[in-house]
Structures are given as structure tokens and as C-alpha cells.
Structure 1
């Protein structure tokens, strides 16, 4: 099995790559700064390092990189710096999602490709009209005005919901929504829900990045697990955070 990971050098993407390597998958990692990658990746025959910015690749290059992939995962996000939040590209996640999906469709694979998008609990799944409080609606509305990355996350998921949809012959998708991300060294117990069970604004839980990587790797490897969540936006919490 071959998996392409965009944003592989990020804090969460790197955890996903480690999980995939443990399963002996062939992994294509797309990064802008390969010199920062661990030597263990550079010396692993199952890891192909692609030094590129996804938005700068030609359509043909992107088509070639996604060719023969069983799954494509986007762990892209905005750096939490002034330039990362307010600089260009403001629609990094959305545009990357669109370009990757277009590339997948152009390959005309005989089997549908799994597409996994890392998203956020701050974004609602409008397919099932998730209820939120009036106060949270106000805060989310403010975030749309002052934080371009929030809008980017919303638009990326909306593209999968409305443009790829539930019956696309080339692509099946899942948008994974972690809550407040934290760092942990080992996979711990976690729980998956169709919708948030806590307020992402006023009562957030916690999700370790390594658990997100483990969950996404499980979606790639386990078809039964995948079929339970395809076309949905599951929320992942560390079990320990739900008792607080």
C-alpha cells in the first residue's frame, strides 16, 4: 500500500508517517524543507521524500505524485506566527485539498482513493446540522473575521462535503477533527464520536497528536474501520481528557 502525506514534517503529520512506517507501508512525504527530516526517514527505502510546496507544483507533477496511491492524507496547517496566520497563502488547506483531489480524479484509478483531511472541532459538520450554543456561534463568527486559518479549515471540509460528496467514484473521504492538540510520546486511549461532545470554545477536551496519527493510520489500513467513518467528520478525544 502506498500513502501520500502532505504536511508530513508537521507536528501531527510526522506522527502519522511514523505509524504508517510501522505498518511497512510505502510512504510519499511531501515537505518544503527536507533537510529538517530525521535521518531515519532519509535512510528508509519505504519513504520517498518529495521536496516541494504543493501549491507550486504543476498539475502534471501532482498527478504523478498521487498516481498509484491507495490513500492521500493532508496534515497541512498554518504556522502559529503572524506570517503564518495572516500571510499568504491564506487558503493553503483548501487549495491543497482541491488540487490533490483533482489530481486523484485525473489518474482514473480503478479503485477509489481514500482522502483524509486533518480538520478541527471548531468546524461544524453541516451535513448533520450539529447544534452549538448561541455564545459559541458568536465566537465562531468573530474567528471567521479575524483568523483566516479558521475559514480555511471550514472551506476545505466544505469542499469535501459539497464537491466530492458521498458518491464520488474516484475519492472517498474522512475529515478528522481533533480537539485541543497536545504532545505525548506514546499512543494512549482515545475515543471517536460523530460530533463534538464538548464545546470547542468553552469546554474543550484534549487530543494528542500521536493519537491523531494512530487514528488516521487506522483509517488507511482497516477497511471496516474506514467504512464506519467515510463521508463523515469524526471527532477524536483523549479518553483521559473526558473525565476532567
Structure 2
């Protein structure tokens, strides 16, 4: 399959691109800064450079894709302003609909609830902290996720709490708060592997599973 990855040069994005390549997919990487393109990609990855406000570049990146992955997440910089990823996600979803691309896999935290999940002490805490202390980032992640869930596309939102720079672990738990036993920490390598696996797996279509180690 041909997969377009947004946020492809970030910590999880790079690992996701590598996982997709290892699984035999063709990859288009959308990136803002050409200097962050890994030399190891060589000619194996088609690269499109643009901002998340560049509708034409986003359209070019999505054209010909079978699926889209977004490894984008809000900036934690307290000096950051606005919610560019909300409008940017809107541009991505619009391009997908123009090109009849149905599959979307994105990322979020448990501040975003799964459609069939009820709030728990953990989800309340995870939502309270950013809502109180990082309101801009909270508004951005909720704004992105609301659009995705209401898009009518075949979406999956992979949620996680505490990503770590550790190798893949022997066990990855996936499920939903209130019904499954889940932890907090998870390796970025496992997030990337789980994300890549969703491209051709319909288990969590229309769902937002939490993963942890």
C-alpha cells in the first residue's frame, strides 16, 4: 500500500516511516523542514515539503495514497500560539476526501475519549492536567481529534500517555480504560509498530485504543 505520513520527521514519525517500509509499504513523507529528512531514507521515501497551512502541498502528498498516518502532536512550547494543527488536519481530511482515501491513523492522549468509553479517574486526570496547565495544546489535540472522529472516514486514533525512548518491549497492551488493564509508559518504537500495523487491520476502525507496555 502507498501510505502518506504527516509529522514524518518527528521522534515517532521517523520510527513509523521505518516500520511502514519494513512492512513493504510505499511511503510519502510530508515534512516542514528539509534539513530534518534522514539520509537513510535515500530514494525509498517520496518527500513533500510544506507547512500544515499549505493546502496545495498537502493535496500533492495525499494524491495516490491508500492510507494516511498522522504522527503530528501539539507543541509543548509555552511560547507557541494558535492551533495550526487543527486547520492543518482539516486540510488533510479534505484532501483525503478529494482523492477518495478512506484510511486514517492518528495519535492522541487519553484526554480524548474513545466513542464507547466512559471517563475514568485516569482519563479525568490526563484531561485535567493539560486543560489546566497547557490549554493551547489541549485545545489543539481535541480540535484535531474531533474533526477526525466526525470525518466519516475509516479512522483509528492511537492513544498513549508516557512515550519513552526505549526499544520495543516483549509485551504491548492495547485496549480501553474502564474495561482493560493498561499502564502508563510505552516505547516510541512500540507506538510506531502499532500505528503501522493499523494500516491494513480493521480491528480498531472507528475506535481510539490506548497502548502501553
Task: State TM-score, norm by structure 1.
Answer: 0.77
Q: Which runs of 4+ in 1 moved over 4 A?
A: 196-199
Q: Shift of the alpha carbon at 1:141?
A: 4.2
Report the Cα distance in structure 2 between the residues aligned to 1:234 and 1:115, rounded to whole angstroms.
14
Please state whether the residue corresponding to 1:82 is helix, strand or coil.
coil
Counterpart check, 1:231 vs 2:213: no
Report the Cα distance in structure 2 between the residues aligned to 1:9 and 1:207, rounded to whole angstroms.
20
Are residues 136 and 25 of structure 1, via their aligned partners in 2, closer, same or farther at CA, if it must alter by over 3 Å? closer
Please state whether the residue corresponding to 1:64 is helix, strand or coil.
helix
2:90 to 86, 98, 102: 98
Counterpart check, 1:160 vs 2:132: no
Q: Shift of the alpha carbon at 1:216?
A: 0.9
Preserved CA contact (<8 Å) 1:176 1:233: yes
Report the Cα distance in structure 2 between the residues aligned to 1:140 and 1:219, rounded to whole angstroms.
25
> What is the CA RMSD across the aligned residues, in angstroms?
2.3
1:218 to 158, 183, 197: 197
Q: Which has the higher helix share?
A: 1
Please show how residues 1-244 of structure 1 align to structure 2 within 5 Å: 1-41=1-41, 43=42, 45-55=43-53, 57-58=54-55, 60-83=56-79, 87-88=80-81, 90-107=82-99, 109=100, 112-125=101-114, 127-133=115-121, 137=124, 140-141=127-128, 143-147=130-134, 148-161=136-149, 163-164=150-151, 168=152, 171-186=153-168, 188-195=170-177, 197=180, 205-220=184-199, 222=200, 226-238=201-213
Q: Shift of the alpha carbon at 1:130?
A: 1.4
Please state whether the residue corresponding to 2:202 is helix, strand or coil.
helix
Provide the aligned length of Structure 1 versus Structure 2.
211
Answer with 1 or 2: which has the greater Rg: 1
List runs of 5+ in structure 2 lacking aligned partners. none
List runs of 5+ in structure 1 lacking aligned partners. 239-244
Please state whether the residue corresponding to 1:230 is helix, strand or coil.
coil
Q: Shift of the alpha carbon at 1:51?
A: 1.7
Please state whether the residue corresponding to 2:47 is helix, strand or coil.
strand
Report the Cα distance in structure 1 between the residues aligned to 2:170 and 2:138, rounded to whole angstroms.
28
Report the Cα distance in structure 1 between the residues aligned to 2:145 and 2:126, rounded to whole angstroms.
19
